[in-house]
């Protein structure tokens, strides 16, 4: 029965519709796999019994031919999404045992389409990190690890690891500066960050409100299309939610890409780029060329300013968003002699080192005398980065780049832990996409000489996920990557 966990979402739906398997069979197969693979630390909360009960209802719907488009599909949910009646902590001590009385819009959309939740997935605390080592519940272990435990990438490391290890059929995730794409690359799975505003942010615990965006992590491109069909949509509860129509993303799978122009940015190939990654980049371009696409060189001249701009803007929004965690209304409370002491004690004990670092940076750049010098300048750079993409898309239809400049590294790597800037540099290919609000997908392209997965990234115009999906499908077929 455990073989059922190797099915893609599309494959599982096909067998469910023909009654070859039942939703109960599927949940039981994943329950067994979860019991056998606790070593990855991918889940922080399990609700398998609830999923099994709902699977029985789903089974009845298939018998009655009233099944919905994701009926009976067992998913994992990143612990950043509020789930009614299920503990949601953002993997922070300060939200210990918080159980939301409401459901996030994205997870409600999935429930409305018949999906089942197996539990909540591990992540970097408040989504702040690039390796899933800042979680209060400990790091996620990459399923591709061999002799040494490797990071799964962050912040959605639990989502990527769970999909790679076949502990759930697919997973929800979120991306602020690469947090869907980098862990997808590290774990050899596929994830898409949609255009900002494509998915509602209501009920997603905020990191940086102008950058955060929900998206799926799945086994392949087709599954990403299926999940995004359900996750996306306008939400009146989110003022940044787009009213644009949602196309059927699945309809673009398999479409021809002859004549499509694929941009390759010169600035993404710096001196010292890992030669294996550069080689796979060339191979990916050749795969698309062989499918009839045209490869064109483009320039994104302000790329070098993306990281510094991001690490001014994101912490500034963190400083504001995390002010609400004070020990008074919900979550952790450390009693004090007075109100100020309660605030200080609760926040000191409740937040981890990386979260504190970003709060301090954000408070500094928003303070009197520094707001103009840092925050306003960073916002101007953000506009220039957006303009670069606008200019590039006059010459091409989609942009091809590596996802990460490195392969998965060891948990506890001193080079990364002793100097946080080294960790931040891993986001060099991803953060500009969030600053510009564009859609981007990471999919596996091959293995390094160490036998570890490497990812390629496709970036599209705003609200043009369609071109990404049809391009990614051909790249996926050409790469012929073998999942774990």
Q: Say which DSSP state 324 is in.
A: G
How many angstroms separate the CA atoms of 392 and 61, rounded?
48
C-alpha angle with apex 404: 228 to 227, nearest 5 degrees?
10
Tell me the chain's radius of gyration from C-alpha atoms: 21
In sequence order, the 6+-apart residues with CB closer than 8 A to the CB of 460 are 397, 398, 399, 438, 439, 440, 467, 468
Q: Which of 174, 179, 200, 442 is catalytic?
A: 179
Burial tier of 295 (Cβ tally within 10 Å: 0-12, 13-18, 19+): middle
**258 catalytic, yes or no?**
no
Q: Which of 33, 78, 193, 219 is catalytic?
A: 78
C-alpha angle with apex 115: 109 to 117, nearest 5 degrees?
105
Q: Tally the C-alpha atoms within 13 A of residue 384's C-alpha that lie toward its C-beta.
A: 16
Q: Which of 22, 92, 135, 155 is catalytic?
A: 155
217's enclosing H/E stretch is: strand 213-218
**179 catalytic, yes or no?**
yes
Q: How far separated are the first and last CA of the chain, in Å rounded?
A: 18
How many angstroms separate the CA atoms of 439 and 471, rounded?
13
How many angstroms separate the CA atoms of 188 and 169, rounded?
15
Nearest to 249 by CA among 211, 189, 169, 195: 195
How many angstroms separate the CA atoms of 92 and 396, rounded?
42
Contact 134, 353 (CB under 8 A): yes
How many angstroms separate the CA atoms of 310 and 429, rounded?
12
Contact 309, 434 (CB under 8 A): no
Kindly tell me the number of DSSP H helices and DSSP E strands found in the chain.
Answer: 16, 11
318's enclosing H/E stretch is: helix 306-321
Burial tier of 480 (Cβ tally within 10 Å: 0-12, 13-18, 19+): exposed
**155 catalytic, yes or no?**
yes
Residues designated as active site:
78, 155, 179
């Amino acid at each position: 029965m455990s073989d059922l966990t190797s099915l893609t979402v599309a494959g599982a739906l096909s067998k469910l519709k023909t009654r070859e398997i039942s939703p109960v069979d599927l949940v039981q197969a994943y329950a067994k796999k979860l019991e056998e693979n606790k070593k990855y630390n991918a889940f922080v909360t399990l609700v398998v019994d609830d999923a099994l009960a709902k699977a029985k209802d789903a089974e009845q719907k298939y018998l009655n031919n009233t099944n919905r488009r994701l009926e009976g599909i067992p998913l994992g949910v990143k612990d950043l999404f509020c789930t009614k009646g299920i503990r949601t902590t953002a993997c922070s001590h300060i939200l210990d045992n918080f159980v939301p009385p409401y459901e996030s819009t994205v997870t409600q959309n999935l429930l409305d389409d018949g999906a089942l939740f197996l539990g909540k997935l591990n992540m970097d605390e408040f989504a702040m990190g690039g390796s899933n080592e800042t979680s209060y519940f400990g790091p996620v272990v990459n399923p591709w690890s061999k002799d040494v435990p490797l990071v799964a990438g962050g912040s959605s490391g639990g989502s990527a690891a769970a999909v790679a290890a076949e502990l759930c059929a697919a997973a929800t995730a979120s991306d602020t500066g690469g947090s869907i794409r980098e862990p997808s690359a590290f774990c050899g799975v596929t994830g898409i960050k949609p255009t900002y505003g494509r998915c509602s942010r209501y009920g997603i615990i905020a990191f940086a409100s102008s950058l955060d965006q929900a998206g799926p992590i799945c086994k392949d491109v087709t599954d990403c299309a299926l999940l995004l069909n359900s996750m996306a949509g306008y939400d009146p509860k989110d003022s940044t939610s787009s009213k644009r129509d949602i196309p059927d993303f699945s309809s673009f799978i398999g479409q021809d890409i002859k004549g499509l122009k694929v941009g390759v940015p010169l600035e993404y190939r710096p001196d010292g780029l890992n030669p294996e990654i550069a080689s796979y980049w060339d191979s990916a371009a050749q795969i698309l060329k062989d499918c009839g696409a045209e490869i064109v060189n483009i320039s994104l001249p302000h790329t070098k300013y993306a990281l510094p701009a991001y690490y001014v803007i994101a912490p500034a929004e963190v400083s504001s968003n995390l002010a609400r965690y004070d020990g008074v209304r919900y979550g952790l409370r450390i009693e004090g002699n007075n109100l100020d002491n309660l605030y200080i004690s609760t926040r000191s004990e409740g937040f981890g080192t990386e979260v504190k670092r970003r709060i301090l940076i954000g408070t500094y750049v928003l303070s009197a005398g520094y707001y103009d010098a840092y925050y306003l300048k960073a916002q101007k750079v953000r506009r220039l980065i957006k303009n670069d993409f606008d200019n590039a898309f006059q010459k091409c239809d989609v942009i091809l780049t590596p996802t990460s400049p490195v392969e998965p590294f060891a948990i506890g790597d001193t080079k990364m832990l002793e100097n946080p800037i080294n960790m931040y540099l891993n986001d060099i290919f991803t953060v500009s996409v969030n600053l510009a609000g564009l859609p981007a997908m990471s999919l596996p392209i091959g293995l390094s000489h160490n036998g570890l997965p490497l990812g390629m990234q496709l970036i599209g115009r705003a609200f043009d996920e369609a071109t990404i999906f049809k391009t990614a499908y051909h790249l996926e077929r050409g790469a012929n990557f073998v999942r774990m």
